């Protein structure tokens, strides 16, 4: 034990004498630990110098945070949007690829089909909160491809958007048809030769003569007629001379006489003619043929002296007190037509006068050549004004109920003849014409509102749907979101007048766009969203994804196409220096407006717009004549209306909308009439959903008036407009008279 104490004392004495050595040991331990930590985080050093240089070159890639497909070796501006390029490692796309080991959450808009982004916030288009989506599936859910678009109040006014509620309503379908008047086939009669012979005389010797029943028509010679008369006289003689035990013979002779009389009746002889033969007591070879009915002689097929056989047609008579209307109905209109419906028609002969009838027959066979079906209408014609072969225009009014049934208060609950639609009764019974049993009108497809059998169909105005092929698309106002409209494919039934019957995918009370829907659809196509012609959309819409600040609502507004003169060549006019100098206050006020919008200052923009209007009123257009004078009046009228619109804007989005069109007019004025000082034309390709917009400013660095602080440097200088050498320094008026 004593030995160990001695050793410990010696060690302590040595250590007390070596403080510097201890300090060096501690320094070495700390330094070694730090260098090990650094070496663990440092990439291994390449032994190949060229390989090391190539690796550094690959890392120095400059890209656009909005268009990651742009990859350039040097810094600069994006060739698409004009934004400053950033290092690839700093762009959102590359930054999201660094952490491969940990799945990063992504956020997307539930309304618009935009690429997911790593940062939460609000959608750059609709302003809704972004929702987290699966990193594998992204934002390809069905809800993200809804057809939705938001328009500012100014854009809605310019597009003339109008909506109406989807409603249940009994609508009238008007079916128009054409046709002609024809004979009533049931009222045609033929006069024929019932015995062979020769026509000695025709009392009616031309067509078109009206005749009455019993009028004599022809005088016929027939040897067979004389033989039959002789036989009749002999039978009468036998029957008159037999008595007593010859009563049986007498009875047989009487029957023989009656048989001969029946034969005469079958030949067309009247009872008076038969009685005349019996009274005369002698046979004759001649007989008179009488008319069996009244009407108009429409055909004469024989002439005097002609020999005819039994059954040979001599005359055709038509009773025109009732006629038929033969109409052609398209197959698409058959669903609105029913047997027994009342129809109205007019003729060229009696303009302004309307006739009525009822549908008596619908042809079961379709004409394959004309794709029409024949309809027949029975029409009373007591005065004979309606003549066969007249051209008519007809119309049927069908009030449509749900299920395609026709509402008719006059027929519902009634009994109707299946052969003669003019026979309508309140109780069941027999037809007065043909004796057939009457049938209920409901069996023919008629219902009544009063009985409660009819249900109004769901309808929308005919101007609401956009129809292409088998698809029908409507735009609806989104509830509780003013200015937002969404597209929806619907299933439509037939068109009934000014309405379409809705079968599926719409509910009663929804607000459907009835005017301006084509403009909304055009805007959807511009931003590559699903539309009428492209149901699946056309790629990703142009969006801004710079930070968390959403762009202004001007990106939701559709402008008309830019004027070609903005970026093209403008026809110039000689302008006096005095006139160009008067334009200087106008351009100064315009530049104040541009500066105010680029700094999101609406109040200053309104003041500047009023100053433009005041400065324009001070310009003396009398300094210009001829074509120059007319050109100035046209441009002044346009930009003055735009400045008034900007001066009354309720939001900065509305002011920017008007400023875009005002800038186009100011650029044309600068190129056409000249400038007192140099200005630069800038272009932002992303403004207004990729439509793009131009403006003028004095500074060479971009000050974007359409996005303001959200994208202050977005855009590029496209052109410098210098003072024109065409200006007359002497101040004389120029222009072609």
pLDDT of residue 72: 80
CA distance 146 to 27: 67
Same domain? 613 vs 692: yes
Same domain? 344 vs 442: yes
pLDDT of residue 392: 94
User: Would you give the distance in Å from CA 203 to the centre of its chain?
Assistant: 66
pLDDT of residue 96: 44
Same domain? 205 vs 253: no
Residue 563 lies in a domain: yes
Full domain range(s) for residue 349? 322-447
pLDDT of residue 4: 52
Residue 731 lies in a domain: no
Coil/strand/helix, residue 693: strand
Number of domains in the chain: 7
- C-alpha distances in Å from residue 391, one per residue of 152, 351, 380, 626: 55, 12, 17, 59
Cα–Cα nearest to 438, from 451, 448, 429, 426: 429
pLDDT of residue 550: 41
CA distance 556 to 176: 44
N residues, the chain: 737
The dihedral built from the CA positions of residue 563, 565, 571 and 572, taken in this order, carries a sign that is positive
Beta bridge partners of 131: 108
pLDDT of residue 697: 93
Cα–Cα nearest to 106, from 67, 129, 63, 137: 137
pLDDT of residue 247: 62
pLDDT of residue 595: 94
Beta bridge partners of 495: 500
Q: Write the Ramachandran bin of 435: left for phi over 0, alpha for psi from -120 to 50, otherwise beta.
A: left
- CA angle at 412 for the pair 408 and 415, rounded to the nearest 5°: 130
- C-alpha distance across the termini of the chain, in Å: 131
Residue 403 lies in a domain: yes
Same domain? 212 vs 232: no
Same domain? 346 vs 269: no
**Any idea what the CATH number is for the domain that residue 338 is in?**
2.40.30.170
pTM of the model: 0.49
> What is the crossing angle of helices 247-266 and 223-241, to 10°?
160
Sheet of strand 424-425: strand arrangement: 424-425, 415-416, 439-440
CA distance 403 to 340: 19
Helical spans, DSSP H, in 404-507: none
Those residues with Cβ within 8 angstroms of residue 439's Cβ, 6 or more apart along the chain or in another chain: 415, 416, 417, 418
pLDDT of residue 19: 52
Same domain? 15 vs 57: no
Same domain? 365 vs 299: no
pLDDT of residue 477: 92
pLDDT of residue 726: 47
CA distance 94 to 705: 30
Q: What's the per-residue H, E or C state across 100-159? A: CCCCCCEEECCCCCCCCECCCCECCCCCCECEEECCCCCCCCHHHHCEEEECCHHHHHHH
Residue 601 lies in a domain: yes
Residue 37 lies in a domain: yes
Those residues with Cβ within 8 angstroms of residue 99's Cβ, 6 or more apart along the chain or in another chain: none
Residue 125 lies in a domain: no
Residue 513 lies in a domain: yes
**Any idea what the CATH number is for the domain that residue 301 is in?**
2.40.50.100
Same domain? 689 vs 561: yes
Same domain? 559 vs 705: yes
Same domain? 506 vs 628: no
List, for the chain, all residue ranges whose pLDDT scores fall below the cut of 70: 1-59, 65-67, 69, 88-119, 122-147, 240-250, 403-405, 408-412, 441-454, 537-568, 724-737
Residue 699 lies in a domain: yes
């Amino acid at each position: 034990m004593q030995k160990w104490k001695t050793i410990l004392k010696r060690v302590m004495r040595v250590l007390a004498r070596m403080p510097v050595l201890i300090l060096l040991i501690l320094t070495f331990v700390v330094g070694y630990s730090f260098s090990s930590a650094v070496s663990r985080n440092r990439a291994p050093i390449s032994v190949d110098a060229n390989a090391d240089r190539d690796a550094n070159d690959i890392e120095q890639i400059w890209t656009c945070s909005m268009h990651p497909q742009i990859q350039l070796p040097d810094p600069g501006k994006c060739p698409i949007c004009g934004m400053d390029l950033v290092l690839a490692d700093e762009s959102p796309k590359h930054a999201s690829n660094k952490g491969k080991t940990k799945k990063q959450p992504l956020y997307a808009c539930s309304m618009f089909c935009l690429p997911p982004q790593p940062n939460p916030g609000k959608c750059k288009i609709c302003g809704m909160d972004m929702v987290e989506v699966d990193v594998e599936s992204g934002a390809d859910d069905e809800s993200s491809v809804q057809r939705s678009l938001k328009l500012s109040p100014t854009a809605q006014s310019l597009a003339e958007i109008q909506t109406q509620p989807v409603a249940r309503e009994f609508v009238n379908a008007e079916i128009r048809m054409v046709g002609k008047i024809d004979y009533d086939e049931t009222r045609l009669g033929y006069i024929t030769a019932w015995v062979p012979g020769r026509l000695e005389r025709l009392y009616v010797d031309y067509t078109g003569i009206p005749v009455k029943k019993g009028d004599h028509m022809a005088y016929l010679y027939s040897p067979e007629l004389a033989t039959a008369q002789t036989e009749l006289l002999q039978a009468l003689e036998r029957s008159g001379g037999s008595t007593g035990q010859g009563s049986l013979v007498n009875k047989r002779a009487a029957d023989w006489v009656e048989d001969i009389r029946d034969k005469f009746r079958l030949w067309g002889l009247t009872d008076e003619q038969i009685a005349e033969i019996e009274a005369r007591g002698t046979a004759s070879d001649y007989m008179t043929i009488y008319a069996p009915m009244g009407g108009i002689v429409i055909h004469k097929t024989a002439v005097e002296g002609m020999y005819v056989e039994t059954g040979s047609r001599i005359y055709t008579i038509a009773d025109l007190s009732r006629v038929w209307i033969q109409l052609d109905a398209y197959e698409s209109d058959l669903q609105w037509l029913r047997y027994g419906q009342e129809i109205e028609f007019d003729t060229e002969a009696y303009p302004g006068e309307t006739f009525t009838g009822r549908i008596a027959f619908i042809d079961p066979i379709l004409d394959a050549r004309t794709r029409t079906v024949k309809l027949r209408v029975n029409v009373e014609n007591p005065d004979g004004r309606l003549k066969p072969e007249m051209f008519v225009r007809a119309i049927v009014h069908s009030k449509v109920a749900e299920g395609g049934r026709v509402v008719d208060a006059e027929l519902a609950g009634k009994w109707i003849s299946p052969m003669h639609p003019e026979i309508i009764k309140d109780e069941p019974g027999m037809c007065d014409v043909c004796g057939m049993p009457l049938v209920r009108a409901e069996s023919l497809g008629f219902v009544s509102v009063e009985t409660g059998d009819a249900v109004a169909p769901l309808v929308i105005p005919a101007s609401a749907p956009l129809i292409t092929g088998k698809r029908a698309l409507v735009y609806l106002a989104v509830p509780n979101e003013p200015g937002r409209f969404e597209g929806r494919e619907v299933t439509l039934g037939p068109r009934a007048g000014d309405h379409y019957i809705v079968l599926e995918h719409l509910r009663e009370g929804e607000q459907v766009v009835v005017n301006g829907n084509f403009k909304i659809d055009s805007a959807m196509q511009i931003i590559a969203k699903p539309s009428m012609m492209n149901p699946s959309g056309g790629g990703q819409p142009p969006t801004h994804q710079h930070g968390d600040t959403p762009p202004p609502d001007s990106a939701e507004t559709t402008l008309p196409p830019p004027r070609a003169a903005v970026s093209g060549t403008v026809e110039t006019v000689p302008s006096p220096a005095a006139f160009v100098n008067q334009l200087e206050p106008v351009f100064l006020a315009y530049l104040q407006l541009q500066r105010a919008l680029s700094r999101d200052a609406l109040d200053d923009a309104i003041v500047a717009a009023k100053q433009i209007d005041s400065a324009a009123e001070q310009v003396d257009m009398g300094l210009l004549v001829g074509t120059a004078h007319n050109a100035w009046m046209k441009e002044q009228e346009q930009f003055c209306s735009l400045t008034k619109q900007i001066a009354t804007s309720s939001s900065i989005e509305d002011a920017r909308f008007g400023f875009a069109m005002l800038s186009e007019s100011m650029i044309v004025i600068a190129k056409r009439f000249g400038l007192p000082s140099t200005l630069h034309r800038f272009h932002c390709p992303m403004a207004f959903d990729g439509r793009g917009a131009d403006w003028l400013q004095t500074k060479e660095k971009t000050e974007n008036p359409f996005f303001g602080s959200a994208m202050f440097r977005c855009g590029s200088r496209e052109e410098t407009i210098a003072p024109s050498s065409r200006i007359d320094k002497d101040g004389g008026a120029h222009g072609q008279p």
